[in-house]
Structure 1
Amino acid sequence: MRIGELAERTGASVRSLRYYEKQGMLSSERSASGQRYYGEDAVSRVVLIRQFFAVGMNSKTIAALLPYIKTNGERCPPEVLRQLIAELDRIDTQADELARARQTLDGMVKATREAMRGD
């Protein structure tokens, strides 16, 4: 598929896809005229890249981890495992902070609704 279709199917911009490729997170085949063509597996890879960005991972970390995300059960080296554990710890902390913020906002909404009913 061409870059525009990949962008449409994943919600990523064409600019982002070019950036992912430049950073080594995504690869394409080139036609004789230089147009990029992506395989079907690029869709799931871009979705994963976007998920990693959404939880605050940077492109360097994502590029380092992507080669070890496979379905064949291959083990990653100890330094990559340490990086994965650190990212999980960071995400868990972020999730806890988000849960606390949500609880605070929920309390504010409930209190405001109750106050409005009393008027």
Structure 2
Amino acid sequence: MDPEIRGLLNSIERSMNTANAIKKAAQGAATDVQLAELIDSYTDSLDTLLTTSANLKNEIGDCGIPYELLDMISKGGRPEDFNRDIKDKTEEEISELKAEAEALGNFFDEISKTFSNQENPQ
């Protein structure tokens, strides 16, 4: 397993263990100092988790793998599905852009006619 992913999983496990320790201490006869230490430890483990996640996200992004693809695969999807979705979205966006370009072209034609009529009144 990739060391970065292993580090992320270890951070998650430490955070969960600390959260469980806080829960047990709160149910028992823990002192305020003990609870404060556990909460500090939990905060540190969450900070480590956040840092590890951010580093991992940057590394994945640096590889050029779209996060949407990773998400789809993690949910059991196939790369072909992702590619088809991208193709469909791209075709839809192109159609929308063509329609906008045509509307803008018509708008500019109308403006040109209006100004040319004002410059050359009949």
TM-score normalised to the size of structure 1? 0.41
Of Structure 1 and Structure 2, the greater helix share is in 2
Per the normalisation by structure 2, the TM-score is: 0.40
Greater relative contact order (Cα < 8 A, sep 6+): 2
